[in-house]
Amino acid sequence: MIDAKNLTVRQIDALTEVANIGSGHAATSLSQLLGKKVMIRVPKLYAGQLEEVILKIADPNDVVASVLLYFLGDLTGRTLLIYPNEDAQELTRLLMPEGHENTIELQESLLKEVSNILSCAYMNALGELLGLLILPSVPGMIIDMVGAVLSSVIVEFGNEKDFIFCIETQFDFGDFNKPLSAYFLLLPDNSSLEIMLKKLNLI
């Protein structure tokens, strides 16, 4: 069984390229939702233990919106999509239908729906590239400080020492709005990571 902590540079480079493709699919999906062009800045890939990676992307006291999904099929594991709170609010503002009252419930519903679409875009890109079937679960949402999200995720994922990949993506709308950041965390089961690397001819 492969040990995710001992990946080679070549293997990490290949997974980074997969991340680039997934981010491109996510940008296309977001563009279709908003009805406007969405570009992505070059994604960054972080890899390491769950707690280390989450604390690299945000301070423990920062408020974030996060959406958790399980995936099944030919690959199994979990994903977490995290937005800084300001970026989550801006994204829901862009998605808000005209004439609707801007309630917390509607904001959360919109964010959960767009997160489901973005997560599926990442996973579909991975599935298409590898020729595998990947099926997502119904999303669950947490809006809280990073420390509280980490605690909740550890309960769902396993423990803070689990090894994850994090894709930092910035969506650029080409106007006066600042790019919106989203962090897509992928925690494949070890057997699924081995399948991915075999499909990429890396083991």
Mean pLDDT of the chain: 83
Question: Among candidates 181, 149, 150, which has minimal Cα distance to 49?
Answer: 150
Q: Measure the CA–CA gap between 97 and 37, rounded to whole angstroms.
A: 18
What pLDDT shows up at residue 183?
92
pTM for the full model? 0.84
* Contact by Cβ (8 Å): 201, 11: no
Tally of CB atoms within 10 A around 177: 12
Q: Which residues contact 140 (CB under 8 A, 6 or more apart)?
A: 67, 68, 69
What pLDDT shows up at residue 176?
59
Residue 55: is its pLDDT beyond 70? Answer: yes
* Contact by Cβ (8 Å): 139, 69: yes
* Helices and strands in the chain: count of H runs, count of E runs: 6, 8
What pLDDT shows up at residue 82?
92
What pLDDT shows up at residue 5?
67
What pLDDT shows up at residue 182?
92
